[in-house]
């Protein structure tokens, strides 16, 4: 493969629309809220903030690296076999992530269980590889992966926080599973003697929570669209002279 020269890097960076990619990943085309991809892990493991963060980080890393790798090989892989090739790349990256988690955050690895290997089947990752990374150069592909990953992780965290708060009345419990001993006293007990609300911790609660988050996003989008429409309307109004001759148009 041809090495990319420093001046070409500058060129690549300049050709990338950072703002649009960021906006797409985080809001306009958010993998969880708009594309509704990767719902299986999203709904299954967001019982607490720490689970959500663990899976979100793993997905983020895999997404960035797979986008970079797919972008690098995009000109060498035949179109008809591209999907198996992408899946091979994603699967090897997920295996790496899994082994890393097993080594450094063993308890979290145990809790997340099957959902770490299942990152392979997360449609958000294959979707970005096929729809974006296989058509773009390395810098936009990496940035797209990063922003999509962050967009996905933010939704995971939001849902995790909601479910942990409503389900067991705490926030950031067991954060030491990721951050080690410094995170031992991060747990916030918001309500004393809280009666665990099992519905929020069980999968049905995840569906309801997800529905509420999507509804919230739609409300915000509606407000923005209305505000824009109102502004556009203002521009049109100008002083108009009353025509007294000719055709009234």
Partner 1 sequence: MALLSITSPHVKGPQRTAGIMRWVILMTLPGLALQTYFFGWGNLHNVIWCSLIAVAAESLVLWLRKRPIGFYIGDYSALVTAVLLGLALPPFAPWWVSLVACLFSILFAKHLYGGIGYNPFNPAMAGYALVLISYPLAMTTTWANPVASNTPSITETLAIIWELSPLVDAYTGATPLDVYKHEVAVSTAEEIRSNPIFGQRIALGWEAVNLAFLLGGLVLIGLKVMPWQTPAAVLAGLALPALIFGWDEDQSAPLSLHLFAGATMLGAFFIATDPVSSATTNLGRLIYGFGIGLLTYIIRVWGSYPDAIAFAVLLMNFAAPFIDAYTQPRAYGYKKANRGPKASDKP
Residues that bind partner 1 (CB under 8 A): 195-200, 202, 204, 208
Closest CA to 161 of 22, 42, 48: 48
What is the nearest approach in angstroms of partner 1 to the Cβ of residue 29? 24
Measured from the CB atom, the residue of 90 and 200 that comes closer to partner 1 is: 200
Closest to partner 1 by CB, 99 vs 219, is 219
Nearer to partner 1, 131 or 198 (CB): 198
Nearer to partner 1, 180 or 211 (CB): 211
Minimum Å distance from CB 194 to partner 1? Answer: 10
Q: Could you give the CA distance from residue 69 to residue 138 in angstroms, rounded to a whole number?
A: 8
Indicate the residue among 188 and 198 with the shorter CB distance to partner 1. Answer: 198
The structure tokens 């991809």 sit at 37
How far apart are CB 164 and partner 1 at their closest, in Å?
15
Angle of CA points 138, 142, 144, to nearest 5°: 120
How far apart are CB 198 and partner 1 at their closest, in Å?
5
Of 113 and 204, CB closest to partner 1: 204
Least Cβ distance, residue 199 to partner 1 (angstroms)? 4
Q: Is the dihedral of CA 107, 113, 116, 122 positive or negative?
A: negative
**Nearest distance, CB of residue 213 and partner 1, angstroms:** 14
User: And the tokens for 78?
Assistant: 């035949």
């Amino acid at each position: 493969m041809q090495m990319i020269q420093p001046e070409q890097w500058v060129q690549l960076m300049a050709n990338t629309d950072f703002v649009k990619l960021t906006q797409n990943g985080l809001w306009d085309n958010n993998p969880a809220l708009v594309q509704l991809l990767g719902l299986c892990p999203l709904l299954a493991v967001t019982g607490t903030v720490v689970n959500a963060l663990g899976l979100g980080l793993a997905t983020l890393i895999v997404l960035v690296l797979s986008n970079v790798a797919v972008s690098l090989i995009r000109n060498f892989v035949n179109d008809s076999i591209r999907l198996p090739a992408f899946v091979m790349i994603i699967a090897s990256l997920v295996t790496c992530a899994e082994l890393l988690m097993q080594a450094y955050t063993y308890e979290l690895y145990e809790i997340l269980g099957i959902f770490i290997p299942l990152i392979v089947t997360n449609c958000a990752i294959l979707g970005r590889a096929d729809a974006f990374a296989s058509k773009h150069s390395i810098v936009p592909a990496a940035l797209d992966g990063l922003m999509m990953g962050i967009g996905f992780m933010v939704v995971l965290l939001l849902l995790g926080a909601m479910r942990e708060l409503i389900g067991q009345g705490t926030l950031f419990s067991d954060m030491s599973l990721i951050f080690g001993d410094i995170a031992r006293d991060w747990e916030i007990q918001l309500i004393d003697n809280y009666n665990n609300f099992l519905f929020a911790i069980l999968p049905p609660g995840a569906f309801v929570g997800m529905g509420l988050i999507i509804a919230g996003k739609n409300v915000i989008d509606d407000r923005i669209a209305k505000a824009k429409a109102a502004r556009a309307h203002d521009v049109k109004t100008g002083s108009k002279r009353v025509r007294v001759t000719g055709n009234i148009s």
